[in-house]
Amino acid sequence: MKVVASLILCLTTVAFADDFKLINGKEYKNVTVSRIEPDGIVLRTKSGIAKVYFVELPKDVQEGFHYNAANAAGHSASQAAFQNQQAELPSLPPIQETKDKITEEIWQFRLKTRALYNASKFDELEALAAQIRTGRGRFGNGSWKIVQFYESLGCRSDEPESMWQLHARIHENWDTAKPRSITAQVAHADFLTEYAWRARGTGFANTVTKEGWRLFSERLAKAKELLDKSADFEPKCPMWWRVRMTVARGQGWSWDDYENLFQDAKTFEPAFWGYDVAKATYLLPRWHGQPGEWEYALTLEDNRPNGLGLETYARVVYALNGYYKNIFRETHASWPQTRDGFELIRQRYPDSLELLSGYCRLACLAEDRVVARKLFDELRGRMIASVWGDQKNFQNYRNWAYSREEAAPLPVSS
């Protein structure tokens, strides 16, 4: 029985003042109808909220609200089933908004890196980047430290043009101070790709202005020029390929050229899952792919030598989930492969609350109650806002997970 959906679909909000007299003589004076339901109307009075059932109202009033006895009976049954369902839920831990300690560690790392950048301490930035690259370091959620290094240097999209120009000067000074630095060249190219997207905007192509296209093309060309110039610099940096893939997407490289770039990148660092996210993004229908292409291409990476196995599959599905309301309903993404990939991730990064939460939410979207219940048990009411949005969404998904399969459909995030 589609209880929750029935309850949601029947609610219509209106707002007008009126008087109502029930068939038993009781009157409601100067009240507002705040909601119409199949079996009655909800009134807002001076003393509070009251519901009046249509069977209590004269026939002409019933007809004015298009009362249907059959619909009313079905709605009443849905309400009763929903209340029974809620009563049968097990005692669940209270919901507490929680911060992931690993995410906090990453944030502190980014703040320290950004402070060096803001102060133009190029020697210290170079030393930090070299240390990270040599150790191929990752945080406790599998995020590459070299990725977080470069992302910490970024300029927020809502900052004024003067701030973007200040960033441009910092990068130019860094290039001048360290003309053979792979770190400086990649950082500058990465900045230019972000600057290009700032000019373009994030909307579809038909929303971009002529000037936006001009600046987008110009800035991407400058980024490519920096990457071309630094192609033979040593040591190599995995982010060189990652930034180049962003340039290629923006410039509309052919599939053959893009695939060659991707294979070159994976040969250099097979475990760098950011390449796979970039390739899947390139293959989204909104960019250069057709429906089903990114999903198929992703399966080809499962057995790459020295790769991550199904962890890569899960990472990409998790990353692209934001493009869809429900990635498993709207694409050919495989829940069994995603699930098995997340099981690998949990083995490798057991302390990440953010990954546990993301896995749980995907289990809900895949309508796998068994896995979702197990993961909600592990969460113990801990809610990360970046994953769930707010406590209401968390509660709705958790209630769904613990309800009977025939009792409630998957909730829709607010």
What is the domain extent for residue 125? 103-332
Q: Are residues 253 and 108 in the same domain?
A: yes
Residue 115: pLDDT band (50, 70, 90) is very high
Own/partner pairs, 324-332, CB within 8 angstroms, 24+ separation: 325/412, 325/413, 326/365, 326/410, 327/362, 327/365, 328/362, 328/365, 328/366, 328/367, 329/365, 331/291, 331/292, 331/294, 331/295, 332/291, 332/292, 332/295, 332/296
- CATH classification of the domain holding 238: 1.25.40
Residue where a domain stops, chosen among 282, 317, 332: 332
Q: In the structure encoding, which two tokens stand for residue 238, read together?
A: 């995995």
State whether 107 and 222 are in the same domain: yes
**Both 14 and 60 in a single domain?**
yes
Judgement on whether residues 75 and 121 belong to the same structural domain of the protein? no
- Contact at 8 Å (CB) between 346 and 372? no
Euclidean distance between CA atoms 396 and 411, whole angstroms: 6
Lowest-pLDDT range, 180-194, 210-224, 354-368, 399-413? Answer: 399-413
Residue 24 is predicted with a pLDDT of: 87
Which tens digit of pLDDT belongs to each residue from 57-75? 998 888 888 888 888 777 7
Residues 230 and 184 in one domain: yes
- Name every residue whose Cβ is closer than 8 Å to that of residue 400 and which is 6 or more positions away in sequence: 364, 369, 372, 408, 409, 410, 411
3-class secondary-structure state, position 43: strand
The average pLDDT across 83-106 equals 81
Tell me if 216 sits within 8 A of 250, measured CB to CB.
Answer: yes
Average pLDDT over residues 206-233: 95
161 and 39 belong to one structural domain: no
Smallest CA-to-CA distance from 16 within 54, 43, 50 is with 43
Q: How far apart are CA 408 and CA 414, in angstroms?
A: 17
| Amino acid identity, position 315 | R
Q: Based on the fold, state whether residues 75 and 112 are members of the same structural domain.
A: no
Tokens in use for 47?
């003393």
Mean pLDDT of the 164-169 span: 96
Distance CA 328, CA 301 (A): 19
Query: Residue 366 and residue 340: Cα distance in Å, rounded?
Result: 13
Which residues sit opposite 21 in a β-bridge?
Answer: 27
- Of 189 and 56, the structure prediction assigns the larger pLDDT to 189
Residue in 278, 286, 322 with CA at minimum distance from that of residue 206: 286
% of residues, the chain, pLDDT over 90: 71
- List the helix and strand counts (H, then E) for the chain: 20, 6
Q: Is residue 67 part of a domain?
A: yes
Burial 367-400 (b: 16+ CB within 10 A, else e): bbbebbbebbeebebbbbeebbeeeebbbbbbbb
Per the structure, how many domains does the chain have? Answer: 2
Residue 363 has pLDDT above 50, yes or no: yes
Same domain, 204 and 248: yes
- Reduced to 3 states, what is the DSSP secondary structure of residue 42? strand
> Where does the pLDDT of residue 5 fall: very low under 50, low under 70, confident under 90, or very high at 90 and above?
very low
- The per-residue pLDDT of the chain, averaged, comes to 89
Instruction: Please indicate, yes or no, if residue 80 is contained in any of the structural domains.
Output: yes
Compute the average pLDDT of residues 373-391.
Answer: 95
Q: Are residues 224 and 278 in the same domain?
A: yes
Checking if the pLDDT of 408 tops 70, the result is no
Tell whether the model's pLDDT for residue 208 goes beyond 70. Answer: yes
Query: Is pLDDT of 144 > 80?
Result: yes
Q: What integer pLDDT is reported at residue 89 of this predicted model?
A: 65
User: What pLDDT shows up at residue 18?
Assistant: 78
Binned at pLDDT 50, 70 and 90, residue 22 comes out as confident
The pLDDT score that the predictor gives to residue 406 is 54
Model confidence band, residue 176 (pLDDT cutoffs 50, 70, 90): very high
Q: Are 145 and 199 in contact (CB under 8 A)?
A: no
Q: Measure CA 365 to chain center.
A: 13
For the question of whether the overall pTM of this predicted structure is more than 0.85, the answer is no
The DSSP result for 294-321, as a single string, is HHHHHHTTTT-TTS-THHHHHHHHHHHG
Secondary structure class of 30 (helix, strand, coil) = strand
Give the mean pLDDT of 263-278: 97
| Residue 412 in domain | no
Q: Is residue 199 part of a domain?
A: yes
Q: Note the pLDDT tens digit of each residue in 125-134.
A: 999 999 999 9
pLDDT, tens digit (0-9, with 9 covering 90-100), for 289-325: 999 999 999 999 988 999 999 999 999 999 999 999 9
Q: Which of 27, 58, 88 is the last residue before a domain boundary?
A: 88
Residue 389 pLDDT: 92
Burial class (CB in 10 A: 0-12, 13-18, 19+), 107: middle
Residue 203: predicted pLDDT = 82
Give me the torsion for CA of 325, 329, 330, 335, rounded to 10°. 100
pLDDT mean over 195-218: 90
Which pLDDT belongs to residue 405? 65
